[in-house]
């Protein structure tokens, strides 16, 4: 559902990335475009304003992390703001789905506008609770306004292989609700899902009816089902239901359509209620948990830049990185520096993992997998380097056969491995020289691929 927004934001970040170092004007310009993209995606104005302001505050005066580009840092900041807008972040206990932490039978009341997907979602929830959570579920339709409604739920119950409350003609919604709770208590059901009639938000009588049912059954969850395709209207609906009935969570359906996604971004801020579930199709298994961080990731479509920045910020010693950058600039990259690099990489996890997080290196990643790169080799290489004397590390050209033998023995490796390391170091020095030629900006533009022999088209190792 976020394709358009995602495309726009990607465009903004692409332009940002091409800059290399970012001035405040660059950030301001980018934020203006982010703002327009959000508005076009139908995000509520106050939410847009709040989000953009947050990003600006945080982007200005950000400490620069050497190992990532400024643009990557901005992307991370935007990401965090999106996660917050979606209802994640601080105080997020990770519990997103339906809360069943109450005495059985736990009543769940489904409310929402006509055709929003209440009945379908009731079936989806029943299926999930039965299969995933091993719960005994009773489905009950309180919809006496549409003739076929109760039969529709009965059919869905059969598909989900759960029980539906026997239909008794002529009962009122309140009578059905009470009967459902009675049956559930007697027959020891874990959960009762009460599906209500669709209503127009302005339909006071129906609103009142659902409020009464809520009062009588005291549901542990009151889930408002909204159609993502209705955009801002979905947000207004949610506000109305929150005011008149009170809801504990929101289910957003039809995210499989081409909704612009703004409703999802506005919902938490406008209603205070969290989005708990997403409906992604007509089939009963098309139900997803709502993860703010994953949705933000989907919107930004940034591979895992965000976690890369987090990892880099946590692990890379900034002073070290700066010293190294200076030495590279002067063409003084030594085996000692190489050993340092190996250590950093070791800290950040596997090489494949790191490369996989960078956008645009999918191809290289495949090559890496093909090359079956063994990261334990990094540890052995570090051992080889530490078995050298300082002089040897500074001038590896003095390493003749006897020295190599000593180093191999000292590090528990072989002369071949020592040779391989030296060859790799030579290649790397050559690469560093190339990098100096490309210049810092080019490096940012080309990303990691520019560093690899053949610009990433060949096997990197
Ligand atoms: N594509 C898609 N269709 C959905 C989704 N959820 C529900 N639908 C479809 O939307 C239509 C209406 O769904 P219902 O579950 O009957 O909606 P309702 O809220 O119970 O409708 P009323 O009871 O009349 O108010 C059906 O054709 C469903 O198959 C979804 O997540 N994606
Ligand atoms: Mg229905």
Whether residues 366 and 439 share a domain: the answer is: yes
**How high is the mean pLDDT of the chain?**
78
Pairing between strand 163-164 and 106-112? unpaired
Q: Is the CB of 253 under 6 A from ligand 1?
A: yes
Model pLDDT, residue 394: 84
Whether residues 191 and 144 share a domain: the answer is: yes
Model pLDDT, residue 234: 81
Model pLDDT, residue 165: 96
Return the H-helix or E-strand segment holding 195. strand 191-195
pLDDT band at 375 (very low <50, low <70, confident <90, very high): low
Cβ count near 104 (within 10 Å) = 14
Nearest residue by C-alpha to atom 6 in ligand 1? 117
Going from the Cα of 110 to the center of ligand 1, the distance in angstroms, rounded, reads 13
8 Å CB contact between 129 and 139: no
8 Å CB contact between 108 and 220: yes
Going from the Cα of 433 to the center of ligand 1, the distance in angstroms, rounded, reads 61
Domain boundary among 301, 328, 346: 301
- In eight-state DSSP terms, residue 303 is T
Whether residues 81 and 141 share a domain: the answer is: no
Going from the Cα of 298 to the center of ligand 1, the distance in angstroms, rounded, reads 24
Domain boundary among 33, 53, 85: 85
pLDDT in tens, 285-339: 889 888 888 777 777 765 445 555 555 655 555 556 666 666 666 667 778 877 7
CA distance 253 to 141: 19
Q: Is the CB of 346 under 6 A from ligand 1?
A: no
Q: What is the CATH number for 441?
A: 1.10.260.30
CA distance 371 to 38: 42
Query: Does 162 map to a domain?
Result: yes
CA distance 34 to 59: 14
- Is the pLDDT at 237 greater than 80, yes or no? yes
Q: Is the CB of 112 under 6 A from ligand 1?
A: yes
12 vs 117, more confident: 117
**Placement of tokens 């559930």 in the chain:** 184
Residue 134 structure tokens:
């091993």
Q: Is the pTM of this model over 0.85?
A: no
Q: Is the CB of 322 under 6 A from ligand 1?
A: no
**What percent of the chain clears pLDDT 70, i.e. is strictly above it?**
73
- Is the pLDDT at 427 greater than 80, yes or no? no
Whether residues 275 and 414 share a domain: the answer is: no
Going from the Cα of 144 to the center of ligand 2, the distance in angstroms, rounded, reads 10
Whether residues 326 and 432 share a domain: the answer is: yes
- Is the pLDDT at 208 greater than 90, yes or no? no
Any idea what the Cα angle at residue 116 is, between residues 110 and 117, rounded to 5°? 65
How many separate helices (H) and strands (E) can be counted in the chain? Answer: 20, 8
pLDDT band at 177 (very low <50, low <70, confident <90, very high): very high
Closest ligand 1 atom to Cα of 152: 16
Domain boundary among 301, 319, 343: 301
pLDDT in tens, 441-457: 434 433 343 344 333 33
Q: What is the CATH number for 41?
A: 1.20.120.140
Residue 52 structure tokens:
């953009």
Model pLDDT, residue 103: 92
- Is the pLDDT at 147 greater than 70, yes or no? yes
Mean pLDDT of 22-47: 83
The residues facing 223 across adjacent strands are 110, 249
Residues 6+ apart with CB under 8 A from 170: none
Query: Does 91 map to a domain?
Result: no
197 vs 435, more confident: 197
What DSSP letter does each residue of 308-376 carry, written as one string? HHHHHHHH--HHHHHHHHHHHHTT---HHHHHHHHHHHHHH--HHHHHHHSTT-HHHHHHHHHHT--TH
Lowest mean pLDDT among 51-55, 193-197, 199-203, 217-221: 199-203
Model pLDDT, residue 306: 54
Going from the Cα of 256 to the center of ligand 1, the distance in angstroms, rounded, reads 12
Helix (H, G, I), strand (E, B), or coil: what is residue 192? strand
Query: Does 460 map to a domain?
Result: no
Instruction: Indicate which ligand has the atom closest to the C-alpha of 198.
Output: 1
Model pLDDT, residue 163: 96
Helix (H, G, I), strand (E, B), or coil: what is residue 393? helix
The residues facing 107 across adjacent strands are 192
- Is the pLDDT at 173 greater than 50, yes or no? yes
Whether residues 78 and 194 share a domain: the answer is: no
Domain membership of residue 275 as a residue range: 106-301
pLDDT band at 186 (very low <50, low <70, confident <90, very high): very high
Model pLDDT, residue 454: 36
- Is the pLDDT at 236 greater than 90, yes or no? no
Residue 305 structure tokens:
């830049």
Whether residues 46 and 126 share a domain: the answer is: no
Instruction: Indicate which ligand has the atom closest to the C-alpha of 151.
Output: 2
Mean pLDDT of 26-40: 84
Model pLDDT, residue 189: 97
Whether residues 332 and 259 share a domain: the answer is: no
Whether residues 414 and 269 share a domain: the answer is: no
Closest ligand 1 atom to Cα of 115: 21
Whether residues 380 and 321 share a domain: the answer is: yes
Pairing between strand 287-289 and 275-279? antiparallel
Query: Does 94 map to a domain?
Result: no
Model pLDDT, residue 67: 52
Q: Is the CB of 219 under 6 A from ligand 1?
A: no
CA distance 346 to 356: 15
Helix (H, G, I), strand (E, B), or coil: what is residue 294? helix
Model pLDDT, residue 95: 54
Whether residues 317 and 272 share a domain: the answer is: no
Whether residues 222 and 350 share a domain: the answer is: no
155 by Cβ neighbours in 10 Å (0-12 / 13-18 / 19+) ranks as middle
Query: Does 176 map to a domain?
Result: yes
Residue 259 structure tokens:
């909704």
- In eight-state DSSP terms, residue 277 is E
pLDDT in tens, 36-94: 888 888 888 888 898 888 888 887 766 555 556 667 777 788 888 888 888 876 444 44
> Residue 58's closest CA among 72, 46, 73?
73
Mean pLDDT of 15-35: 78
Query: Does 97 map to a domain?
Result: no
Nearest residue by C-alpha to atom 3 in ligand 1? 282
8 Å CB contact between 402 and 418: no
CA distance 54 to 51: 5
Helix (H, G, I), strand (E, B), or coil: what is residue 26? helix
- Say how many domains are in the chain: 3
Q: Following CA atoms 453, 456, 457, 460 in sequence, which dihedral angle do they give, to the nearest 10 degrees?
A: 60
Going from the Cα of 118 to the center of ligand 2, the distance in angstroms, rounded, reads 5
- Is the pLDDT at 231 greater than 90, yes or no? no
Q: What is the CATH number for 143?
A: 3.40.50.300
8 Å CB contact between 121 and 198: no
Q: Is the CB of 88 under 6 A from ligand 1?
A: no
Mean pLDDT of 279-283: 91
Query: Does 458 map to a domain?
Result: no
CA distance 219 to 247: 10
pLDDT in tens, 247-265: 999 999 998 887 777 788 8
271 vs 406, more confident: 406
Pocket test for ligand 1, best of 109, 112, 120 (most atoms within 8 A of CB): 120
Query: Does 340 map to a domain?
Result: yes
Model pLDDT, residue 346: 62
How far are the Cα atoms of 144, 201, 203 from residue 147, in angstroms, in the given order? Answer: 7, 21, 19
């Amino acid at each position: 559902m976020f394709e358009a927004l995602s495309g726009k934001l990607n465009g903004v970040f692409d332009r940002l990335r091409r800059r290399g170092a970012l001035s405040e004007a660059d950030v301001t310009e980018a934020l203006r475009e982010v703002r327009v993209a959000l508005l076009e995606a139908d995000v509520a104005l106050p939410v847009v304003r709040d989000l953009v302001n947050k990003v600006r505050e945080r982007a200005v005066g950000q400490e620069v992390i050497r190992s990532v580009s400024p643009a990557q840092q901005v992307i991370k900041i935007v990401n965090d703001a999106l996660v917050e807008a979606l209802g994640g972040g601080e105080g997020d206990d990770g519990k997103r789905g339906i809360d069943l932490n109450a005495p059985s039978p736990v009543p769940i009341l489904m409310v929402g506008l006509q055709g929003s997907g209440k009945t379908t979602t009731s079936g989806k929830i029943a299926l999930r609770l039965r299969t995933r959570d091993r719960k005994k579920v009773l489905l009950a339709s309180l919809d006496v306004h549409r003739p076929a409604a109760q039969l529709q739920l009965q059919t869905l119950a059969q598909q989900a292989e759960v029980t539906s409350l026997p239909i008794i003609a002529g009962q009122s919604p309140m009578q059905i609700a009470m009967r459902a709770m009675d049956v559930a208590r007697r027959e020891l059901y874990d959960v009762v899902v009460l599906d209500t009639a669709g209503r127009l938000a302005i339909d006071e009588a129906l609103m009142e009816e659902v409020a009464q049912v809520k009062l009588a059954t005291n549901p542990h969850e009151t889930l408002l089902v909204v159609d993502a395709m209705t955009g801002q209207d979905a947000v207004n609906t949610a506000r109305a239901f929150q005011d008149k009935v009170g809801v504990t969570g929101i289910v957003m359906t039809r995210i499989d359509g081409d909704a612009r996604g703004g409703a999802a971004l506005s919902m938490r801020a406008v209603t205070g209620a969290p989005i708990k579930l997403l409906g992604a199709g007509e089939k009963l298994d098309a139900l997803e948990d709502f993860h703010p961080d994953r949705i933000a990731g989907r919107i930004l479509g940034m591979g895992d830049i965000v976690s890369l920045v987090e990892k880099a910020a946590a692990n890379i010693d900034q002073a070290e990185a700066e010293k190294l950058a200076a030495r590279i600039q002067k063409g003084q990259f030594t085996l000692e520096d190489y050993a340092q690099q190996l250590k950093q990489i070791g800290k950040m996890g596997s090489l494949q993992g790191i490369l996989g997080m960078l956008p645009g290196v999918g191809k290289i990643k495949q090559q890496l997998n093909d090359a079956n790169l063994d990261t334990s080799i990094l540890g052995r290489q570090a051992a080889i380097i530490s078995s050298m004397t300082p002089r040897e590390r500074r001038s590896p050209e003095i390493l003749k056969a006897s020295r190599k033998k000593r180093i191999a023995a000292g590090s528990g490796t072989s002369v071949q491995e020592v040779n391989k390391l030296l060859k790799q170091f030579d290649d790397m020095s050559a690469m560093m020289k190339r990098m100096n030629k490309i210049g810092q900006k080019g490096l940012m533009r080309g990303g990691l691929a520019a560093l690899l022999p053949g610009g990433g088209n060949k096997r990197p190792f």
